[in-house]
A = this chain, B = another copy of it.
Amino acid sequence: MSVNRQFRLKQRPVGRVGRADFDLVESPVPEPAEGQAVIRTLYLSLDPTNRVWMTDMPQYLPPVAIGEVMRGGGVGRVVASRRPDLKEGDLVTGLLGWQDYAVAGAPGELFPPTVIPDGLPIPIPSLMGACGMTGLTAYFGLTEIGTPKPGETVVVSAAAGAVGSVVGQIAKIRGCRVVGIAGGAAKCAFITEELGFDAAVDYKAADWKEQLKAATPDGIDVNFENVGGEIMETVVGRMNLYSRMPLCGMISTYNDVQRPRYDLTPFLMKRIRLQGFIVLDFKDRYAEGSIQLAQWLLAGRLKARETVVEGLEGAPEALNMLFDGGNIGKLLVKL
């Protein structure tokens, strides 16, 4: 490929993300300057946080500027390098952006890409999902903030998604009763039959609140919160005294123009510990988490699932799958 296609943010999306919110710009494949490397993108990771980065609300990284290449995590291969830490042929992961070729060491870079050992017995998509950032999000959020004890009840929303599916499996490894909330029969079957969750709640069913009640006879000790909105409020209503709530995301609300609002009274009365977190908070411990996740995967205790969309050009529309429930497991774009 002799051109570099880049999705540049044209305007801040209102509601759903559309193709019209981006310019698809073609330019020559970049050449590395001294201290830079050029990376061919192989896969892009689509995550709820992409939607947040498109807004200018206060957030944990700078918003993507209008005209800037859309920020996104990915895995790629170094095709040219003039820096000592990256050599041609290296497999790397980092914030490659929604483009065919990324420049490591370019101005404004937030984090440099890091090398992934080549030839691991784990396919790249799983290295990006269950053993990658979303797996680490699940691992640290559940174990460090949720602090589940054997026999406790853990509820996770967006349970068939990249993070939720790993949260539930780790909670099972930790000896918990695990209840997943997901949309539709296929996802519910996936988390109970394939992943071994104790129960699934189909939030698209009319009786989902009764399903949740029936699935949590002893209340809820850990709520790993991914979605926000009415689902979160209903779960909070069943949380126990001294329960914990790692707040990972509120995806059901990211397309809302108005930020939704919540009653904090249950947090006071039930002494719930709510802790927002981002996987970056644990960046000094990625190695520990990655090794643990890889061990579980190779031992068959952790199952990885991905939904792969082909072609960079489909990235903006594909992102909506996260909000529409169109993916199971990790959502990736293959370039």
Q: Closest residue to A228 on the B side, CB-wise?
A: B264
Q: Closest residue to A253 on the B side, CB-wise?
A: B265
Known: A274-B274, A275-B274. A59 touches B264 (CB 8 A): no
Is A249 an interface position by the 8 A CB rule? yes
Shortest beta-carbon distance, A244 to chain B, in Å?
10
Is A272 an interface position by the 8 A CB rule? yes
Do B259 and A265 touch across chains, with their CB atoms under 8 A apart? Answer: yes
Do A268 and B281 touch across chains, with their CB atoms under 8 A apart? Answer: no
Do A58 and B276 touch across chains, with their CB atoms under 8 A apart? Answer: no
> How many copies of this chain does one complex carry?
2
B-side contacts of A265, CB under 8 Å: 57-58, 250, 259
Do B259 and A263 touch across chains, with their CB atoms under 8 A apart? Answer: yes
Q: Complex: how many Å from CA A135 to CA B33?
A: 63
Between A266, A269, A278, the greatest number of chain B beta carbons within 10 A of the residue's beta carbon is seen for A269
Do A273 and B274 touch across chains, with their CB atoms under 8 A apart? Answer: yes
B-side contacts of A260, CB under 8 Å: 263
From residue 104 to 125 of chain A, which have CB atoms closer than 8 A to chain B? Answer: none
Q: Complex: how many Å from CA A267 to CA B281?
A: 14
Q: Closest residue to A57 on the B side, CB-wise?
A: B265
Shortest beta-carbon distance, A278 to chain B, in Å?
7
Chain A contact residues, majority secondary structure:
loop
Q: Complex: how many Å from CA A264 to CA B269?
A: 18
Do B281 and A276 touch across chains, with their CB atoms under 8 A apart? Answer: no
Shortest beta-carbon distance, A334 to chain B, in Å?
30
Shortest beta-carbon distance, A243 to chain B, in Å?
11
Known: A259-B263, A261-B261, A263-B259. A273 touches B272 (CB 8 A): no
Shortest beta-carbon distance, A331 to chain B, in Å?
20
Is A271 an interface position by the 8 A CB rule? yes
Residue-by-residue, is A290-325 near B (CB-CB < 8 Å gives 1, otherwise 0)? Answer: 000000000000000000000000000000000000
Q: Closest residue to A265 on the B side, CB-wise?
A: B259
Do A271 and B281 touch across chains, with their CB atoms under 8 A apart? Answer: yes
B-side contacts of A247, CB under 8 Å: 264, 267-268
Shortest beta-carbon distance, A163 to chain B, in Å?
14
Is A204 an interface position by the 8 A CB rule? no
Which single member of B59, B250, B271, B275 contacts A278 (CB below 8 Å)? B271
B-side contacts of A248, CB under 8 Å: 268
B-side contacts of A270, CB under 8 Å: 60, 276
Is A277 an interface position by the 8 A CB rule? yes
Q: Complex: how many Å from CA A60 to CA B265?
A: 11
Residues of A within 8 A of B (CB): 57-60, 228, 242, 247-250, 259-278, 281
A249-B268, A270-B276 known; 15 new pairs, CB 8 Å cut-off, are A60-B269, A60-B271, A228-B264, A247-B267, A248-B268, A250-B264, A260-B263, A261-B262, A264-B276, A268-B276, A271-B276, A271-B281, A272-B275, A273-B276, A274-B274
The 7 closest A-B pairs by CB, nearest first: A261-B261, A268-B276, A274-B274, A267-B276, A259-B263, A271-B276, A273-B275
